[in-house]
Copies of this chain bind each other. A is one copy, B any other.
Amino acid sequence: MRYLPKSPADREAMLKAIGLRSVDDLFAPIPAEYRLTRDLNIPRQMAESEIVDFFRQRSRENGDGYTSFLGAGAYFHYRPVIIDSLISRGEFLTAYTPYQAEISQGTLQSIFEFQTMICELTGMEVANASMYDGSTAAAEGVMMAVRLTGRRSVVVARSLHPQYREVLATYATHQGMPLSLVNFGVDGRINLKELENSITPETACVLVQSPNFFGTIEDVNAIAEIAHKHGAMLVVSIAESVSLGIVEPPRQADVIAMEAQSFGVPLGFGGPYCGVIATREKYVRQMPGRLVGQTVDKQSKRGFVLTLATREQHIRREKATSNICTNQALVALMVNIFMTVYGKVGLKELAKQNLAKTAYAASQFSKHGKLLFATSPRFNEFVVQTSEDPYAINSRLLGHKMVGGLPLQKFYPELGNAALWCCTELTTRSAIDTAVGLVAESERSVRSAKEEVEEVAR
């Protein structure tokens, strides 16, 4: 096997040194009746060229070459080339968790920078080294609030990503954390009145997403005020991190649970992504996940270490703030490099381009379909209601090697033939125009079909 650095002679010599006669002796501790005496029934050993061919073939079956208007928690932004150049260095790629600080300063310092930038962007005071993804970060953020407030129930906006809601439900079920949902209004934002009514003295926190699942920016100020008034915390989920370049961060939140995939992480069919939790300094000891801190060595030289480990499972076991151990470090490094490349000015300009493309697309679509939640500010997503079922429209778009917006019926039946469209800096005007053209055609044909029917009826 080409990964194994041993010759038959090496194996012989080692067995001899150990004092064994055969490899079988090594497995003597395993009861004989369980020992496998046949080959595993898996594909035969393949050449590297065959492996590459296999995955190229899979790639061709996987939407390679399609233009997409999908967002909904996974965003297609340009990834600067240097991200992969740098994360591919074996020193980053093949290192473990930086437990041995003296030979892990590369990883540690980069996480420290990551934490800093997440703080700068979110307006929070501390950020951790990463969580599995935005959905689990939201769930853990809620659990944090539960621990901090000593209350157990949770108020959740319906405009939170439906899969995030599902994940939260899974996490919450057995922890005795009742969830209640608050609807959105015609403006696509959480219904503030309903929110106020939902909060009880048992409410640990309110969880909203902004920009929310519809791309609409919530009035976080107002939400925070309501939550805080009732002694509940506010947990804000951010799924589209590029929005932070131009959208005021939810500074009033107590916990921000973010998905940083937009910052240089490939779509990758849904993962690995990069969750993060950011919060106020005073809550740091209830945070889940790893934290890197600055310190000094024996010569007073600046250095970085994993710190506050007493929150974690390997020290606290069943009393830990979370069971998380392995996180998303390398993905956080991608995020870190992306944030560094765009930086203070670039992130703003990038966000502006997203805004401009989306504004153009929304205005074009609204000439034919119905733009929902039109009155609220939005970032790079919007909902269009059509006369025809969006699945039908999308299957026509597929013929043009285009993937249309995400049909919402399955998540929000009340929205009917609505679909969630997304534009980023990579969406070209011509792609928008083509998609709009197909929607317009659909509307025209539905209209003419209707007119025909009316004609006949008349």
A contact set with B: CB distance below 8 Å? 47-49, 52, 78, 80-81, 85, 88-89, 425-426
Closest CB pairs A-B (n = 4): A49-B78, A48-B80, A48-B81, A85-B88
11 CB contacts below 8 A, A to B, read: A47-B78, A48-B78, A48-B80, A48-B81, A49-B78, A49-B425, A49-B426, A52-B81, A85-B88, A88-B88, A89-B89
Contact residues in B for A47 (Cβ distance below 8 Å): 78
Q: Chain B: which residue is nearest A77 at the CB level? A: B49
A88 to B82, CA, bound (A): 12
Q: Chain B: which residue is nearest A82 at the CB level? A: B48
Contact residues in B for A89 (Cβ distance below 8 Å): 89
Could you tell me the distance in whole angstroms from the C-beta of A46 to the nearest C-beta in chain B? 13
Contact residues in B for A78 (Cβ distance below 8 Å): 47-49
Most chain B CB neighbours (cut-off 10 Å) among A49, A85, A425, A426: A49
Contact residues in B for A52 (Cβ distance below 8 Å): 81
A88 to B426, CA, bound (A): 27
Contact residues in B for A81 (Cβ distance below 8 Å): 48, 52
Contact residues in B for A48 (Cβ distance below 8 Å): 78, 80-81
Q: Chain B: which residue is nearest A425 at the CB level? A: B49
Q: Chain B: which residue is nearest A80 at the CB level? A: B48
A212 to B52, CA, bound (A): 32
Could you tell me the distance in whole angstroms from the C-beta of A226 to the nearest C-beta in chain B? 42
A337 to B271, CA, bound (A): 33
Could you tell me the distance in whole angstroms from the C-beta of A139 to the nearest C-beta in chain B? 35
Q: Chain B: which residue is nearest A78 at the CB level? A: B49
A47 to B346, CA, bound (A): 12
Could you tell me the distance in whole angstroms from the C-beta of A50 to the nearest C-beta in chain B? 10
Please name 9 further chain A to chain B contacts, defined as beta carbons within 8 Å, in addition to the given A48-B81, A88-B88, sorted by A numbering: A47-B78, A48-B78, A48-B80, A49-B78, A49-B425, A49-B426, A52-B81, A85-B88, A89-B89
A85 to B91, CA, bound (A): 13
Could you tell me the distance in whole angstroms from the C-beta of A82 to the nearest C-beta in chain B? 9
Contact residues in B for A426 (Cβ distance below 8 Å): 49
Could you tell me the distance in whole angstroms from the C-beta of A339 to the nearest C-beta in chain B? 15
Contact residues in B for A80 (Cβ distance below 8 Å): 48
A425 to B81, CA, bound (A): 32
A338 to B47, CA, bound (A): 15
A88 to B48, CA, bound (A): 19
Could you tell me the distance in whole angstroms from the C-beta of A151 to the nearest C-beta in chain B? 47
Q: Chain B: which residue is nearest A2 at the CB level? A: B341
Q: Chain B: which residue is nearest A84 at the CB level? A: B88
Could you tell me the distance in whole angstroms from the C-beta of A317 to the nearest C-beta in chain B? 39
A85 to B49, CA, bound (A): 16
Contact residues in B for A49 (Cβ distance below 8 Å): 78, 425-426
A89 to B52, CA, bound (A): 22
Q: Chain B: which residue is nearest A86 at the CB level? A: B90
Q: Chain B: which residue is nearest A89 at the CB level? A: B89
Contact residues in B for A88 (Cβ distance below 8 Å): 85, 88
Could you tell me the distance in whole angstroms from the C-beta of A362 to the nearest C-beta in chain B? 23
A89 to B90, CA, bound (A): 9
Could you tell me the distance in whole angstroms from the C-beta of A430 to the nearest C-beta in chain B? 13
Could you tell me the distance in whole angstroms from the C-beta of A322 to the nearest C-beta in chain B? 35
A78 to B47, CA, bound (A): 10
A81 to B52, CA, bound (A): 9
